[in-house]
Amino acid sequence: MALGLKFLTVKRLAWILGVIAVLSAIGIAHQFNRLNQINAFNEAVKTGQPRVTDKLSYENKYAQAYWLAQKTYYKEATKLFSGLTQTSTASNRASVFHNIGNMFFHKALRLNTGSDVRARDEAEYLLTEAKTAYKHAVKLDNSNWGTRRNLDRVLSLLPDTPQAGLSDSDSPGMVMGNIPVGLP
């Protein structure tokens, strides 16, 4: 009935199990420490405080860019988000493009266009940028209904694409009265 394990004595078995227990305790302590770091990171993100751990992580850069966007520092947030578009998974890149689209969309909505042509042109430019960002996000992750809804809203706010030579004041086939459409 012997298994031929003569080298495995009770003393050796106790040592092996003791080493396994010590290694398991070290692993548990490491995981507990990491969990505390993650909780501290999340709390710092919520309060807008500087993060102590994971300073170079994707999540830290994303959180910083998101915080800047919430505080209407759009230029800085766009730079940080743009740096994140080349990294991580397709779902994360879609989230980045979604937030870039949100920034342009919110900025366009905050403009008081009224009768000011420059403000209207800027709003149209911002909505076009938002449309481009939302389209990138939908291409990367088509399952996000928020992105699809925002894209639909942006498309409804954008003016129809004008076609050269077809305006109310000009005759068809002419641009600006006397300049023909197309190449000579």
**175 phi/psi in degrees, rounded to 5:** -110, 130
Specify the pLDDT at position 17. Answer: 94
Torsion-angle region of residue 158: left (phi > 0), alpha (psi -120 to 50) or beta? beta
Over residues 59-112, the pLDDT tens digits come to 778 887 887 887 878 788 888 888 787 777 888 888 889 988 988 898 888 887
Region 171-184: mean pLDDT is 52
Domains and CATH numbers, the chain: 16-55 (no CATH), 56-160 (1.25.40.10)
Residue 148 CB: number of other CB atoms within 10 A?
14
Q: What angle do CA 125, 130, 133 make, to 5 degrees?
A: 130
Specify the pLDDT at position 24. Answer: 96
- Concatenating the DSSP letter of every residue in 95-123 gives HHHHHHHHHHHHHHHH---TT-HHHHHHH
CA distance 85 to 140: 11
Quick one: pLDDT band at residue 174, thresholds 50, 70, 90? Answer: very low
Six token digits for residue 149: 């809804």
Quick one: pLDDT band at residue 170, thresholds 50, 70, 90? Answer: very low
DSSP state of 49: P
**88 phi/psi in degrees, rounded to 5:** 70, -160
Q: What is the model's pTM?
A: 0.61
Six token digits for residue 103: 């920034």
Residue 23, pLDDT above cutoff 90: yes
Over residues 107-157, the pLDDT tens digits come to 888 887 677 788 888 888 889 999 999 999 999 888 889 889 999 999 988
Element holding 175 (H helix, E strand): strand 174-175
